Each structure stands twice: as C-alpha cells, then as structure tokens.
Structure 1
Amino acid sequence: MALITLRRNLCHLSDFRIHGALAALRNQRVNHVHKIVQEHLCPWFCSLPPGPVRVRFCHAPCQKYHSENGNDLPPVGEPAFSQVHDWDRFEQNLKNEDEQISYRRLNNFTSSEEVLSFLSTLQTLPDAVAAGALKRICEVEKKGDAQRLPKEILENSIFQAVCDQLEQDPSNLSNATLATALQALTLSYVDPRSSLLPKLVAECQHRLGSVGLDVHSLCILGESLIKLRGPDCSAVERIICLLQGENLEAFTPEDVVTFYRILQMCPNSVHEHQAFLNKMNTFSLSVVSSLSPNLMSQMLTALVVLDQTQALPLVIKLGKHAVRHIPHFTNQELGKVLEAFIYFGHNDRFFTRALEQHVAPLCLTLDPEVLSTVMGYCGSKRILSKPILNAVAEAFVCQPEKFSLSQISELIEPFGKLNYLPPNASALFTKLENILLTHFSSFPPKTLLKLLHSCSLIECHPVNFMAKIFSPHFLQRLQGDEPYLDRLSLAQLTQLFLTSVLECPFYKGPKLLFKYQVKSFLTPCSSLETPVDFQLYKSVMIGLIDLLGARLYFASKVLTPYRYTIDVEIKLDGDGFVVPFTVDEDVHKRVALCIDGPKRFCLNSKHLLGKEATKQRHLRLLGYQVIQIPYYEIEMLKSRLELVEYLQRKLFSQNSGRHWYQE
C-alpha cells in the first residue's frame, strides 16, 4: 500500500514541499506508523462518543405495529433498520484498526478545513484514507449545482498531495478505494486539467476485464461511471451484465438500491434487462425491512422511472414499512414516496394515519412542495383526511406568500374534489381571492381553470372571475398553440357556465359560447361524472323490474339536455303515477336515481365526492327529484325481497305522492 508522509500542522507551514515529503517517503520504513497514529489519536478518540451507530434490524413478530400479512417487523421502540452507510461499509474493508479509526473520524468532519487539518496531523496517509478524505471534502463542499470545488481547496497543498497519491499508481489501489475515489469525483470535479479522473476511469475499465470485482464495488463503479461518462459508456453495460451474473444473495440492501439507480439512469436499456429486473423486484421483498428512509425513497423513485407497474407486491410492502419512517423522511424523500404511491395507485390507512400525525403538527414548517404533494396524494386517492386538510388550510392562511401559483392550485383542488370545506374556509377563500385578483394574469390558463372549477364544486363560486374566463381572450390563452381545446377544459368551462346559470342568477356577465360547450360530462379520461358501478346497477335494475313489473317503466343511462347522465330515470304523470319511459306527453315529474358506487365517495366513507355532489345539486335545481341509492345501503340487504322493499320505500314513501302505474 502506498503511503505518504505528512508532518503535523502541515497546513500552517507555508514552506513545506509536498514533493520532498514524497521523496522522503520512498526511503523510510512504515512499520512504526500504526503505533504512532494510535498513540496520537487515542486520547482524542476515546474522549468522543462512539462512532456512527450501526443499527441492526431484529426480525421479530410485530407487537405494536401494522403488519397485515405477517411481515417480520420490529416492536415499537426497537431499531427500525440495519442500513450500513457507505462510510461504514468501506471502513469494514480497511486492513487495520488505525485506518478504521482515521476513516471513522473523517466521517465526523463537517468542513474541508477540518479534513485538511486532520490530514496534516497524520504521519502517513494510506490510500484508503486518502480516498475517504477526498470523498468527504467533495461531500461537504457540494452546494447546489456547483460542479467544481472552491479554488482555495484546489490550490491547497495537502489536497493536491491527496490527488497526486491517488493518481500516481491506480493499479495499486484496492477495489474499494478505487470505487470510493471515483464516487468522490461524481460529487465535484477536482480539476478538468487533472489526469486523476481519466486514470481512475481507465483503471476501472481495465479491472472489469481482468479482476474479479465484488458486487458492492461494481455497483459504485457503475453509478459513478454513468455520472462521469454518461449512460452510453461501454463499461456501464459491462458492469450491468456482470451484476446480472452475481448471486442475488450477494446484494446488500444498499447494493440493491444502487442497481435500481443504475438502471434508472439508463432508461433506454431497461427493456433489455427486464427479466433480471423482475428477479430483483422479487428479491427486494426480502430487504425492504432493512432499508433506511433515504434508500426506501430512492427505490420507490426508481420503480416509478422504470415503470415497474408489475412490481406492486414490492410497492405494497414498501408502503407498509414506510409507515415507521414518516417522521424521519426529509421533505424531499417524503415527497418522492408520495409521488410513487400516487403513480402506482397505492394507499394504506396506516400510512395515512401516520401521515396525519406527522403533517398536522408540523404543517407550518414543512416545505410548500411537500404540502402540495401531500394534498395531491389525498386528492388522487380520494382520502378525506380532515386533520391534513385542516392543517394545510391553516398553513396557507398563515403563510400564503411562500406558495407558488401552481402549488396554490395543488393545495385547493383536493378541497373541491373531496367536497370538503375546512373550518377556516372564509379566511382561506378570502386569501385565495386576493391572490387571484393580484396575480390573475400570471396563472397558467389551465391551472387557473382547474382552480376555479374546484372552488365551484364546494359552492365557493368564482363569480368575480367568470366574466374573465368566458372572454375570448382567456379562451385563446387556454387553447394556446393547439388546434383545439382539450375535452377536460371544455367540460370544466361548461360546468362553470351551468353553475353560473343555476346557482348564480345574479351573474350578468358574458356567457360561454356554444361552440365551447360539451354535450356530455361523462366521457372517457376527462369525465366530470363517475360511471355507474355495473354490478350495483345490475342489482338495482333487477329490483326495479320486480317492483314496477316491467323494464318498460324506467330508462337507463339517460343523457339529459343539461350534459349530465342519469343512471335511472323514472317519469311520473300529474297524479304521481309511473308512466313508461317512452311517454313524453303529460310528464309531470322526472325522478333521477343516482346509483352511487364506492368510487363516487371519498375512500372508506359515506361522503360524496365534489363532482357527484355538484351533479345531484344541479339536477335538483333543474327540477329532477333526486333519489340516492348508495352502495352501503344495498350491501346491507340480504335477499331479493329485501331489495324490492328497500326500493319501494325509496320510491313510494307515503308522503311522496308517487304510485305504481295503473292502466
């Protein structure tokens, strides 16, 4: 192992010559080094608390924790995962205790000055410690999108000596040291003029063809080469093929996640490796319990990018284990987890409950992006979580200025979708109206339309802005460069116009031109109505035939002139008798049966979604007698006779004035 001699307090000696030290190093023995380093570090190190804690996961049956399928989860209060950090992994590969102590101490430093000062106290510098020091400097100096280290670091004589040592003879570096050095260079480029990077990359490529590399080194080298040379680097494909030849049992949790990240950065070649990726998805089920919050977030992100919709068992298990990590996720990690669950359509009531406990008390301190993602998760999964919705509403009222215009829309839309008004609704919509008045023209047109439409779903009608959104100028902005407006935007405009007519009779502004109005709100992919549940509809239809005596006395899926589709329509004459649906004359009353399946309600609740509540509200204003047939009432019935009796009570109660048709 190559060593370099460094004098104590080297950083304070301006006349020190690095090359002289290197020359002196070649002529002296190094057997005494370990003792000197140990004696020097022992007083300092023993006074410190123990190094990074390596938490071990205990596979024991869960006693106080969610485990629906009997997964091995630790009881509350025990360590949550056994993630071994890269620093710890590398430290375990070091050949002696002195190197391990030095490497562990490097991990505790929080600035480059501390690292360089520490190096100046060492009598010798092993390659492994040099690579660790380079990595730590690049880690602490990584700021934003900066790709280069500060000039004062690059010109520091100790830093240059570290780079020279790693560059001098890469063939003598261990696999772990080579991987660590390359990993450091992915964080910050040392110097574009330096030959360090080309030599390390060349050595990496050489070893791929001649030296057996372990899984961990292959993973680090693969990811580093992609970052440094791009996904088209020939060595990357070689590494992926080598990894596929390894036994999956040789992959640690962090290796598994690194492999996912490698494929994530090579999206064009995913289909070529899908067979192995399927095996990895299955194997990953066994390591989920050992993932740290960061690794869990990275795995879910990779599964999204790789479009692994067939890996739902893995996503479900990740969701169950993510519950315990919610307080420990960073804002960015939590956002990625939620985005993945939205993408895969996953939800878990235990995860939602933990999210409520975390978000509600910390809402004012969470990043706006996280809050908007949390609301997107609730909205997309129809989760009516009053603690989350109330907390987010309060955060917006208290700090509206910290939210971008798109984030404001993402915060408000779920209120309309879930048909929920928070306790501070008055203050919330006052703040929102002020923002709209000030920044109306700054909102992207489609974002603005979705926002105003969401408000109307909870009867907070944007009357002050209807004239603007029905104007030719706004419609032209909404269309943009497209040859025509998309169907969802047209449907939202149409429903807003219908709202202005039915619920805002005092509105006297411009009307929406007929060419911008849709004929039906029930359309694929852009529907403002939820299609009827077929099985529920089939059951109700059988009951109606038994009750009314013939299929002739009701119509199904009737498209009204007002764009809404009625599940079942029954016509009554002036005496309240049911008449055949083919009769158009002397129809005194129309009854609209809303056969509401689970998808028309918020998840696991009896609370109608905003669009369904709006539909029923509008039908009543249009003169229909709306009768709701919810799924949770039908599910309580045990026989066909009970179903008929139920429908009779619904349709022909004593005070309704409705009767069976009589000849």
Structure 2
Amino acid sequence: MMGPLEAELGRRADAMDPRQLLMVADLWRCLRRVVPKFLERLYCSAEGWRWSNLGPAELVQLVYVMGEGRTSTPSLLLVLGPQLLRHLNQLTPEEVGVLCLGLFKSQSSLSLHDVTQLVGRACAVLPQMSDYGLVNVLKLLRFSHLDHQRFLKAIGKEVPKRAPHMGVQGLMHVALACSALHFRDDGLLRALADRLPALALQCRSKDAAKLLWAFGTVGFPSSQAPRLYPSLEEAMRERADEFRRYPEHLLTGLLGLAFAGIFPRDLLALALSPESVELAVSSPHLELKKDLFTLDATVGLEVPDWAGPRVQEGLAQEVTAQLWSFVQQDVCVKPSVLEAEALLQSLLGGARFVRKHMILPHTRSIDLEVHLDPSGDPIPLCSEDNLQGQAESATKRSHLAITEDLLAQLTKITVDPSTKQPDSPPAHSTPPTITSDEPFPSEVNLTEGLLGSPLPQPTEGVQRLAVQVTNRNQFCYHSNHMLGLHTLKRRQLALLGYRVVELYYWEWFRLLKRSRSERLTYLHSKIFEDLD
C-alpha cells in the first residue's frame, strides 16, 4: 500500500502548498519510511517559496525534516541562510535546538557567519533551553568546527549546574564536543566526571568509548576524578559483546585510555586478538588500521612485559608507509618545519647532522632528530651518499622556497599576550585517508620497540634530541595543555631515551617574522640548554 501512496503523493506534490508539503514529509517520518524522491520535490519547491508569507515555524519544520531525512541540497542552503537570519530573534530556545539538530543530522554546511549568528541566539536563550537543546547546539558546533567563545564560556557555567541531572548520552555529547573543539574547562569536565560513575553501567559501548576518548584527548587527569576511568572501563567490559559489531568503539575507548596512560590488559588482549584485528581491517566502511597500529605500538612501548597478542608486522609497515606518504606531502613542507630544519643544519654544521623523519610512526607526526656527543658536539646522522639520494628524491616533489617575505605572509597571526596563544581559531581538520600501493619505503624506520624488540639504549653519554615543531592543533583551545596523542608521543620519546625539544608555535611563529639571527639564537638556546 505504501508504494502506490508514495507515488501518488509525489505526483500531487506540485499542487501542494508549503504547509501541506511539510506535513506530508513529516507524516512519512512518523511512518519511518524513507522517501528520497518526495524530499527532493520538497527541497526543489522550497527554493521557490514566497518566504515572506511564511514564518519561523515553517523554517524550523523544513530543517527538522532535512535532519530526519539526512539530506539537503546546496541550492536550498542558499535560501535557508537569509531566512534563518530574518527570523533569528523570534526563535524560541527549543526551536534553536531543533534547527541545530537538523543542520547537524543533514550535514548541512551553512556559512560560518550564519552558524555564528544562530549560536549567538542560543547564548541569549541558554538558561531557558532544555538539556536536549543545549546538546544539539554543541553537535552543530562540533560539525562546523566553530569555536564560539561566548557559547563555550557560557556552557562552562551552565553545564556544571545541569550535570547532576543529565543522562548518559547528554553527558557524552557534551564531552565529545569538548574534545572535538579541543576545549578544556576543568570545572565543566569535573562536573561530568563526578556524575558519570553512577551512570556508567547504563552506557552503550559507543557512549563509554567516546567518553574515554573525549577525556583522554583533552588530557583530563585521573587524579581529579579517581572513579571516572575505572567505571568507564567496567562499562566497556559489560558491553564487550557489542564490539563484534562495532570494533571501532573498542579501539576508540582504548586509545582514550592510552592517552591517559591506562592499559587494561583484558581489553587490550581482546582488541589485539587475531579475530578482532581481522574484523577491524576487513570492515568496508571504516578505516581502523591506523588506530590498530597506534594501539599496538603503544602497547609495545608502554607495557614492557606484555605477552598477549600483537598485530602482524605487515600491517605496521603498510600503515607506516601511508603515514609517511601523508607527512611528506603535508607536514614536511610546512614553512615552519622547513625553516627549523634549515636553521638547525646551519647551526650544527650541515644537513648530515639533522634527520627529518618519524621516530614514532604510530604517533602520526614527524621529528627533527639531532645527536650530541658528551662534549656537546653534533654527531652525523646521515652519510653523504644518503644525503645525495634524499636530495634527488626531494627534487621529484614540488619545491617550496622559504624566504623572509614568504614567512611573513604565511604567519600573519595575532597573539593574545595574556595567553601567549594566537587569537585565530584552530582548524580542527582530519587528515584524509591515504592509500598507497608503493612498497614500504626504505627511508622510513620502524623505531625499535614498536614490533616487540627491546627498547634501544642510548650510547653512553650521547644525547638524542627529538625537536618538535608544534602547531595550534596539538593543544587545547587557548591553552598550553597538549592534546592526548601528542602527550602520549612525548611520554614515549622519553621512554626511548630522547630529550624532547619543543619549538612552541606561539614562540616559533613569532620568530619567523623576525631576523634570522634571532631564530638561530633561539634554536641554540633550545638545543644546548642542558650543556651550558
């Protein structure tokens, strides 16, 4: 019966007025029937509506239908933006929440200005907004990667008052938004952490995993809430059967725990078992190899007596090749990295004294490695033949000349002196999935210890330095708290005997606009600080 009814309503769509179209679309939603063709007719019609005759109720209903249908069109979004601004001050608190949810579910990207205005309206009505509405605003912020300072400041005060009465999924979405926006407010996080242990056993595997990921990502210490991590671990154990269908949740939760330096052996053994690994790598809709690699290599370094299962070496080599391919095209050619590499070579006596590579490939970033002998003199890391081969390889890739003018153009950021942080918002982008059919490149080293061999011991008296050129995406928003993956990397470099040298972006980016001699003086102080 439903098929002919859907077809007939589709034929009559052109004769319906806007309210009739919206009512029919919503009734299909109530019947849980997916009707993409009817929604397409609705959206096409809405582009030509006389919106001056319609009010905020029709706008809210249309966006709600878009969200439930998980669809939208670019041309429709061009129409919705102006209508949103026209009715903005008439929207009730719950209508604001519905609009945010609809835009989030339909993955609709309004302009940054329009989203900012909508969230500004949410700020104005936040005290009257339900928890559900508040969470929906956070979902839109998360999707839009918008760090709306007024709203973030407001939830820092509002959420602690509401947390004692919020449910598990609401708490999870608040925590997840904080991690996605790299926003750390210890008062807000403590309020969530105090509430969660009593609700932990109500968590789905998805909830527990995302909560662990969120708290681990922003570096929330277990000392501030001793029951938080153990209770969420137990929730993971209670839901272990769900990991057969959702292997990504197990990896997500364990990585969050690893960021915090916590390694539950039973859950690790489950995640690294041959069955779980096969399930994860064979999933057609998920890319879990990088997460498996990061977890496995972390276990190899931080759980030295581990006798449980490990992933096969071939997987580690495959993912390392993919990551190296990405960083060569992206991180390695960033002006801030190239300038640090060139000046270190000048400072230490040549290119053979600085090696740009991934000491820990599973941490998905590069290092400038330097060795100093007991007297503080640099030790060569590359032979002349290797340098020539690297130079020939580099000429095959696009070359980026670093000049003072280019550096000045690329580092136009303002700095807030009270926080030593740039005022411009962080770009919370996710690296694209890299696929590579190339063989495992010889220039990429799997650091000893990643595949189960003993950790290397540094030569007597030799200092091994790992120079880190940081960027704002490695830190919490307007903070010097490093995010979980980067904290994990520093911890593991120290385990391997490296001295980590940080070129903090709020220091280094400012120096890129100054003289070469000032940059050399800064680097000299960083490299030789322990030898003076």
TM, length-normalised to structure 1: 0.58
- TM-aligned CA deviation for residue 647 of structure 1: 0.8
- The residue type equivalent to 1:257 in the other structure is V
* RCO comparison, higher one (Cα < 8 Å, 6+): 2
Work out the CA distance in 2 between the residues paired with 1:423 and 1:403: 22
- The residue type equivalent to 2:464 in the other structure is R
2:469 corresponds to 1:595: yes
Change (3 A) 1:267 1:409: closer
Residue of 126, 143, 160 corresponding to 1:360: 160
- Confirm or deny: 8 A CA contact 2:332 2:338 kept in the other structure: no
- TM-aligned CA deviation for residue 510 of structure 1: 4.1
- TM-aligned CA deviation for residue 258 of structure 1: 3.1
- Confirm or deny: 8 A CA contact 2:360 2:489 kept in the other structure: no
Q: Match for residue 643 of structure 1?
A: 519
Q: Match for residue 571 of structure 1?
A: 371
- TM-aligned CA deviation for residue 631 of structure 1: 0.7
- TM-aligned CA deviation for residue 386 of structure 1: 1.1
What's the secondary structure of 1:604's corresponding residue?
Answer: coil
- Confirm or deny: 8 A CA contact 2:363 2:485 kept in the other structure: no
The alignment of Structure 1 onto Structure 2 pairs a total of residues equal to: 443
Q: Match for residue 531 of structure 2?
A: 656
1:610-629 correspondence to structure 2 within 5 Å: 610-629=484-503
1:539-578 correspondence to structure 2 within 5 Å: 539-558=339-358, 565-573=365-373, 575-578=375-378
- TM-aligned CA deviation for residue 330 of structure 1: 2.5
Q: Match for residue 288 of structure 2?
A: 486
- TM-aligned CA deviation for residue 472 of structure 1: 2.6
- Confirm or deny: 8 A CA contact 2:359 2:367 kept in the other structure: no
Work out the CA distance in 2 between the residues paired with 1:543 and 1:504: 37
Listed one character per residue, the Cα deviations across residues 274-325 of structure 1 (whole Å, up to 9, x for unaligned) are: 4354133134223223211222222223333444325322112112221123
- TM-aligned CA deviation for residue 445 of structure 1: 3.0
- TM-aligned CA deviation for residue 600 of structure 1: 1.0
- TM-aligned CA deviation for residue 601 of structure 1: 0.9
Tell me the C-alpha RMSD between the 2 structures: 4.0
Q: Match for residue 212 of structure 2?
A: 412
- The residue type equivalent to 1:648 in the other structure is H
- The residue type equivalent to 1:633 in the other structure is E
Q: Match for residue 453 of structure 1?
A: 255
Structure 1 unmatched ranges of 5 or more: 1-191, 193-197, 658-663
2:56 corresponds to 1:249: no
Work out the CA distance in 2 between the residues paired with 1:233 and 1:645: 63
2:195 corresponds to 1:320: no
- Confirm or deny: 8 A CA contact 2:469 2:502 kept in the other structure: yes
Listed one character per residue, the Cα deviations across residues 411-469 of structure 1 (whole Å, up to 9, x for unaligned) are: 11112111221444432233234444544344443212221221111112223443343
- Confirm or deny: 8 A CA contact 1:521 1:565 kept in the other structure: no
- TM-aligned CA deviation for residue 394 of structure 1: 0.8
Residue of 301, 304, 313 corresponding to 1:514: 313
Q: Match for residue 166 of structure 1?
A: none
Change (3 A) 1:648 1:400: same
What's the secondary structure of 2:133's corresponding residue?
Answer: helix
- TM-aligned CA deviation for residue 372 of structure 1: 0.7
- The residue type equivalent to 2:260 in the other structure is I
Change (3 A) 1:523 1:339: farther
Work out the CA distance in 1 between the residues paired with 2:128 and 2:320: 43
- The residue type equivalent to 1:315 in the other structure is V
- The residue type equivalent to 1:639 in the other structure is S
What's the secondary structure of 1:309's corresponding residue?
Answer: coil
- TM-aligned CA deviation for residue 633 of structure 1: 2.0
Listed one character per residue, the Cα deviations across residues 233-273 of structure 1 (whole Å, up to 9, x for unaligned) are: 999888766654454433322233334345556777x54xx
Work out the CA distance in 2 between the residues paired with 1:514 and 1:429: 31
Query: Larger Rg: 1 or 2?
Result: 1
- The residue type equivalent to 2:216 in the other structure is G
1:94-243 correspondence to structure 2 within 5 Å: 218-228=17-27
Change (3 A) 1:223 1:555: same
Work out the CA distance in 2 between the residues paired with 1:411 and 1:442: 16
Change (3 A) 1:495 1:321: farther
1:2-401 correspondence to structure 2 within 5 Å: 218-228=17-27, 244-261=47-64, 270-271=72-73, 274-275=74-75, 277-401=77-201
- Confirm or deny: 8 A CA contact 2:336 2:509 kept in the other structure: no
- TM-aligned CA deviation for residue 552 of structure 1: 4.2
- Confirm or deny: 8 A CA contact 1:554 1:570 kept in the other structure: yes
Change (3 A) 1:399 1:353: same
- Confirm or deny: 8 A CA contact 2:332 2:366 kept in the other structure: no
Work out the CA distance in 2 between the residues paired with 1:224 and 1:475: 47
Change (3 A) 1:446 1:295: same
Change (3 A) 1:518 1:291: farther
- The residue type equivalent to 2:531 in the other structure is S
- The residue type equivalent to 2:58 in the other structure is D
Change (3 A) 1:264 1:473: closer
Change (3 A) 1:368 1:532: farther
Q: Match for residue 429 of structure 2?
A: none
Change (3 A) 1:421 1:573: same
- The residue type equivalent to 1:505 in the other structure is P
What's the secondary structure of 2:75's corresponding residue?
Answer: helix
- The residue type equivalent to 2:149 in the other structure is R
Work out the CA distance in 2 between the residues paired with 1:396 and 1:526: 41
- The residue type equivalent to 1:600 in the other structure is Q
Change (3 A) 1:523 1:326: farther
What's the secondary structure of 1:627's corresponding residue?
Answer: strand
Give aligned-pair identity as a percent.
Answer: 21
